[in-house]
Structure 1
Amino acid sequence: MTGAVSFVVPPGIDDPARVSGGNVYDRRVRDGLTGLGWRVRMAEAAPADAGELRTALRGAADGGLVVVDGLLAGVGADVLVESAARLRLVVLVHMLRAALPDADAGVVADERRALGVARLLITPSQWLRGQLAGDGVGIPIVVAPPGTATAGAATGTPGGCALLCVGVVAPHKGQDVLIDALTALGPAPDWVCTFAGATEADPAFVAALLARAAALGKGERIRFAGVQTDAGMDGLYRRTDLLVAPSRAEAYGMAIAEARARGIPVIASRVGGIPEAVGPDGAALLVSPGDSAALADALTRWMTDAGLRRRLTSQARDVRLHGRAWEDTVARVATALADVP
C-alpha cells in the first residue's frame, strides 16, 4: 500500500525556529510515509503568496496525488480550484479559519471553496470532522489524530507549581486568559509559569501580556521562553508539574498529548478537540474557554489541594504508556491516500 505523493506545505517545515503543531504533524506524516515506501515530493509555498502555491502545484504530474496543508487553502482558493481537474487534491485541515475568534469573512469563504474541490480531507479530531460536515462539506473526511513520540516521565518539582503553556503566543491560544487567572490567585503558593512558543505572530498581543504581568507584580514569575528545540521542550516538560492550555479555539491540542505521554496532568479549555486530546481517563480539569475566573479557581484547587495533585498526577502517570504512536497516525493517512480516486 504505497505510491507517490506530493506535499505542499508552508515554509520551514524542518526549521527548528518555526516549530508549530501543524509543522510537526506534516513532518511526521511525510517521514512516516517515506518510511513505508512512499515516494514523497516536497514543495513549499508561503501562506500569503498564491503565486508560490501555483508554482508548487505545477510541479506535480497530471493526475498526481497532492496533499496540501490547510493553512494554504484560505488564500489559495483560486489556485486549488483551477488545479482540481488536473490533480487529485487532498487537504490536511489542521484548523478551520471559521473557528478562530478573529476570522476574516473573506478568507473563511475562500477556505470553504478550496476545501470543496478536494477529493479527501484529513483532520486531527472528530470535532473538526463534525465542523466540516456541519459546514456542508460533502466529500470524504478521515480523522487521523496526532501521535506522540516515546518520552520519559516528567519529574516535576517538589512544590508542584511549575506550570507550562505551549503554543504560538496569539489571541486564539488564550495566554491572556491564563495571565489574568494567575494574577487573580491571591495568596496561592509560589508558582512559576513558562510560555513556550513563537512570539512573532502578534507582537502587540505579547507586549500587552508582558505589561499586564509587570503591572500586577507577577512579571518575575512569568517567563516567555520562545520557540524551543526538541531537546529544549523535553527539558521544559521534564520540569513541569501541570500543563495549562487556555485556548479559545483548538482543533486537537498536541501539547496536551505530549503532556499525557510524560505523565503530566492538564488544566485546559473545554473547546474544540481538546476533550478528545484529554481523553476519558481523567488526569485533567476542563474549564470554559475565555473564563479567567474559572481558570483561576481550577489553578487554586491544584495549588492548594495536595490530594487533588496526587490524584491527577497518579492518573496521568497511569495513562502515559497508552498514548497513540505516530506510526498509527501515518498508517491511517496512508490507507486513506491509497484509496483516493
Structure 2
Amino acid sequence: MRLGHVPAQYTAVQSPRNPETVPMSLRTVHFVMPDGVDDLAAPSGGNAYDRRICLDLPGFGWQVRKHHAAGPWPRPDAAARAGLARTLRELPDGAVVLLDGLVACGAPETVVPEAERLRLAVLVHLPLGDETGLTPAVAADLDARERTVLREVSAVIATSDWAVRRLVAHHGLPPERVHVAAPGADIAPLAPGTDGVSRLLCVAAVTPRKGQHRLVEALAAVTDLPFDCVCVGGLTQDPDYVTHLRDLIARHGLSGRIRLAGPQSGAALDASYAAADLTVLTSYAETYGMAVTESLARGVPVLATDVGGLPEAVGRAPDGGVPGILVPPEDPAALAAELRGWFGEADVRRRLKAAARARRAALGGWAATAQSLAGVLGRLPNEPRRAA
C-alpha cells in the first residue's frame, strides 16, 4: 500500500489527529504489550515504538486493541503467566495478535499452544539473550525460550536489517517469516546547541547494556577539554549500576561535569536535545538506536559504538556524508581520541554537522514504520498454523 493511499474497500474520513484520510472500516489487531509501556517515568525505545505504532496503524487499515500484560517480563512469575494466558484465551479464534517480544518470548509455554488458533506475530525490540549483565545460565534460558516462540509464530518483526539477520542466523528462522519495520523519526527544529562543541548528551537508560561507564572512563582521559555532559535516562532499572556509575564519576573528579538527569520526555527532552552539540551513545548492544535518529532529527551529530543496528541508525546523508563517528566497542581510548578530534578540529565538526542536517531531511517517518508493520499483518495466513 502506498503511503497515504486508502484501499478502495475502505470508506475514508478525515481524522482530527491526522489530516490525511483514514479508513472507517478497519481490521483489528490485538497488541499485547508489557504493563507500564505508557509510564513516561521509565522511558525506553521499545515502549516509545509500541505507543507510536498504536497511534499510526489505524491510518493503514488496522485498529489496535491494547492489552497490557502485568509482570516481571521477560522472566514472568506464575501470576504473570496466568494473566497472559487469560488474555490470549479470551481472544476469538483466528484473531490477529501482535505480541511485544519481551512478553511473548518470556512465556513459550503460554504463547506456543495459542499458535494453533490465533494468528500470531512477535515484535522483537532486542533479542533477550543480548541484554548485558545476565548470568550465562539466565541468558541461555532466555535465548532458548525466545527460539521456541519465534519458531512457532507466523511472523517475526525486527527493528533493523541487522536484527533480521541476527534472528534468522541465531535461531534458524526461515528468512521469509522475519520482517523489518525500522523505527521512524519526527523531524524537529534544528538544535541551536550550546557553544557548538562542548555540550555532550547521552540519552539512554542507565543500565549496563548502555555502557555509560565507558563514557565516564573516556571523559576521564580528556579532562583538559572543556566538556559538559548530561546523561538523560531512567535510574531505576539497575540501582546497583547507577550507584557504581555515581561512584566512578566521583572517583574521577567529574561530579561537576557529568550529570545524571534522570528520565525526560516532552518539552524537557526537547530542551536537552536543543542544547546538545554532540550526542554520545556507548551501548554494548542495540538493535537500532532510536536516540541516534532523535538526535539526527534535530541536526545533532552522533558519536556511538559500532554495534548491532547503530550503523543503520546513523546512516548516510543523501550526498554520502556520514553524520556521526562509530568507535569499536570495549575501547574507551578510541572514544577519548574521537572526542579530542571533535574538540580540536573545526573541520571535523563542520563536516559532521553538515552531514547530520542533510541526514535529518532524509529520515523516514513513523508512517513508514506503521505501513511496514501493517503489510506484515495483512500477509499473515488466513488460518492459524504451527510453523514447520
Larger radius of gyration: 2
- Give the TM-score of the pair, scaled to structure 2: 0.85
Identity within the alignment, %: 41
- Which residue identity is paired with 1:52? G
Alpha carbons 2:195, 2:277 under 8 Å: kept: no
Aligned position for 1:36: 60
- Which residue identity is paired with 1:165? C
CA distance in 2, matches of 1:123, 1:161: 35
Root-mean-square deviation (CA, aligned residues, Å) is: 1.4
Deviates more, 1:152-161 or 1:97-106: 97-106
Offset of 1:37 from its aligned partner? 4.1
CA distance in 2, matches of 1:55, 1:238: 45
- Which residue identity is paired with 2:161? Q
Aligned position for 2:366: 326
CA distance in 1, matches of 2:351, 2:270: 24
Alpha carbons 1:120, 1:141 under 8 Å: kept: yes
CA distance in 1, matches of 2:259, 2:329: 22
CA distance in 2, matches of 1:329, 1:75: 25
Offset of 1:58 from its aligned partner? 2.1
Q: Of residues 101, 105, 108 in structure 1, which corresponds to 2:140?
A: 105
CA deviation map 1:194-244 (0-9, x unaligned): 111111111111111111111111011111111112211111100000010
Aligned position for 1:74: 105
Structure 1's unaligned 5+ residue stretches are: none
1:249 aligns with 2:273: no
- Pairing 1:144-155 to 2, within 5 Å after superposition: 144-155=181-192
CA distance in 2, matches of 1:214, 1:100: 27
- Give the TM-score of the pair, scaled to structure 1: 0.96
Q: Of residues 183, 188, 198 in structure 1, which corresponds to 2:220?
A: 183
Aligned position for 1:162: 199
1:61 aligns with 2:92: yes
CA distance in 2, matches of 1:130, 1:201: 29
Aligned position for 2:275: 239
1:27 aligns with 2:51: yes
- Which residue identity is paired with 1:183? A
Aligned residues: 340
- Pairing 1:198-209 to 2, within 5 Å after superposition: 198-209=234-245
Alpha carbons 1:25, 1:146 under 8 Å: kept: yes
CA distance in 2, matches of 1:193, 1:339: 46
CA distance in 2, matches of 1:217, 1:247: 23
Aligned position for 2:350: 310
Deviates more, 1:207-216 or 1:70-79: 70-79
Offset of 1:259 from its aligned partner? 0.7
Aligned position for 1:17: 41
CA deviation map 1:284-312 (0-9, x unaligned): 11001121111111111111222211221
Alpha carbons 1:174, 1:290 under 8 Å: kept: no
Secondary structure of 2:283 counterpart: coil
Structure 2's unaligned 5+ residue stretches are: 1-6, 8-25, 382-388
Alpha carbons 2:61, 2:374 under 8 Å: kept: no
Deviates more, 1:34-43 or 1:58-67: 34-43
